[in-house]
Structure 1
Amino acid sequence: MTDTSPRTALIIGASRNLGLGLAREFAQRGWKVVGTVRGASRTGLHDLADTSEGQVAVEEVDITVVESVEQLRERFAEASFDLLFVNAGITDPDKPASEVETEVFTRVMVTNALAPLRVIETLAPLVKPEGTMGVMSSRQGSISMNERGGHEVYRASKSALNQLMRSYDARRDDKRTLLLIHPGWVQTELGGEGAPLTVEQSVPGIVSTLEAHAGDGGLQFRSYADETVAW
């Protein structure tokens, strides 16, 4: 018998910008989506859920708080997702790393690198054995492609994220696909108004890339255009 039930996605960080765009795009493609927000304030994800006829649901989680992530796992203990995608990221002042306050450095590294890894490891049991786990990375995390510097701590955090995911892949023993995704240079708070891509231009490519590599297994670092990104 063929399983005709809709595919399911858990998107961590879907209140606005790329995360909200991903929730909307997956829903438009027939997926059932659970998106998360960090606080209790109303967001664009709530508006999307209200008009989705049950196709989109909202949950709260703070990925920098271990207990919050564990509580989310417990709430979905009986669920099984085709996709877990962690969309999280904050930036730093654009100045040399040596001039960045220690507190800022720590906050960026925890939010962009350590917390996504913890989310993947904590919530992996909710993902089907043949499912996909993805994390929003960035080409700025590529060491070999860094030729002009800038936003040094943000770059370092994405490089750390990539390394942590590679280490996780090396020690795990399952067939889930693990994808690091570069969304392109997008017009968000991180990308700025001068970025060449809009959220609407980036998101369909991200979703198509995630769909295209479902079932591949292993770890890949790919762009929204489904191109391999150099480490």
Structure 2
Amino acid sequence: MSDSAKSKTALIIGASRGLGRAMVAEYLQRGWRVVATVRGNHPGDLRDLAAASQGELLVEELDINLPEQVADLRARLAGDPIDLLFVNAGVTNGDFEISEVSTETFNEVMVTNALSPMRVVEALQDLVPHSGTIGVMSSHQGSVALNNNAGYEVYRASKSALNQLMRSFAARHADDPRTLLLLAPGWVRTALGGPNAALSIDESVPKVVDTIEKEAGNGGLRFVDYRGNTVPW
């Protein structure tokens, strides 16, 4: 384990289970210090992971849909530089055509998948130095160009909205040297991806982290998959 790896800190937003929890474990294994957030009193086994981490994992509670909690987290982390800020958030609420979706469901998915992640980026981005990376978990389903099959229409729309908002963020920070990433992890067997997905978490997450590390320092915004391939907008 190198001293440079030991000095790095990742902040993983949305890490109680699935891809987020696996990213925490992967970064710890690679020698990073990790701050991970969980929603409410549902930390999964992150508390046990933290207890075994010799102080390298700090678990914070955060509901990204509550701006006051995001502000409180920002205050708690003040003065603690973050080499990687990565926001992992996603809900689907079912596979329905748009005509079948209630306004309540539409609002919930769009707020959780698009608005709230960008609020987190806006609130916490000043913790990330010029050499750092800001990443958000997107999806191939957020690609307009790749939408040939429909399905999960509100989820698709929410990820497309997230991509657009991240692109606006990049445009407003055109002179910012930090690396900005929209990451598509592939179709993974999680509570979100379902049991029939093509990839296990262990097949996706190490490659997600490899891709983030490969892109670090390149600057600008890229929409890439877990293997580092560019995803069409």
Common fold by TM > 0.5:
yes
1:177 — aligned with what? Answer: 179
Cα offset, 1:43, TM superposition: 1.6
- Structure 1 window deviating more from structure 2 (206-215 vs 46-55): it is 46-55
Answer yes or no: is the 8 Å Cα contact 2:81–2:129 preserved in 1.
Answer: yes
Output the CA distance in 2 between the equivalents of 1:168 and 1:53.
Answer: 36
Cα offset, 1:116, TM superposition: 0.6
2:112 — aligned with what? Answer: 111
Q: Which residue identity is paired with 1:219?
A: L
1:213 aligns with 2:215: yes
Output the CA distance in 2 between the equivalents of 1:39 and 1:125.
Answer: 25
2:190 — aligned with what? Answer: 188
**What pairs with 1:1-231 in structure 2 (closer than 5 Å)?**
4=4, 5-172=6-173, 173-231=175-233
Output the CA distance in 2 between the equivalents of 1:47 and 1:86.
Answer: 22
Does the residue aligned with 2:96 lie in a helix, a strand or coil?
coil
Output the CA distance in 1 between the equivalents of 2:82 and 2:11.
Answer: 7
Cα offset, 1:6, TM superposition: 2.1
- Structure 1 window deviating more from structure 2 (42-51 vs 25-34): it is 42-51
Output the CA distance in 2 between the equivalents of 1:186 and 1:131.
Answer: 27
Q: Which residue identity is paired with 2:180?
A: L
Output the CA distance in 1 between the equivalents of 2:24 and 2:94.
Answer: 29
Q: RMSD of aligned C-alpha atoms?
A: 1.3
Output the CA distance in 1 between the equivalents of 2:196 and 2:41.
Answer: 31
Q: Percent identity?
A: 58
TM-score, normalised relative to structure 1: 0.97
Output the CA distance in 2 between the equivalents of 1:178 and 1:42.
Answer: 27
Does the residue aligned with 2:64 lie in a helix, a strand or coil?
coil
Q: Which residue identity is paired with 1:90?
A: V
Does the residue aligned with 2:31 lie in a helix, a strand or coil?
coil
Q: Which residue identity is paired with 1:227?
A: N
State how many pairs are aligned.
230
Cα offset, 1:42, TM superposition: 4.0
1:21-60 per-residue CA deviation (whole Å, 9 max, x = no partner) reads 0000000000000000010234221121111111111001
Which residues of structure 1 form unaligned runs of 5+?
Answer: none
Output the CA distance in 2 between the equivalents of 1:60 and 1:215.
Answer: 30
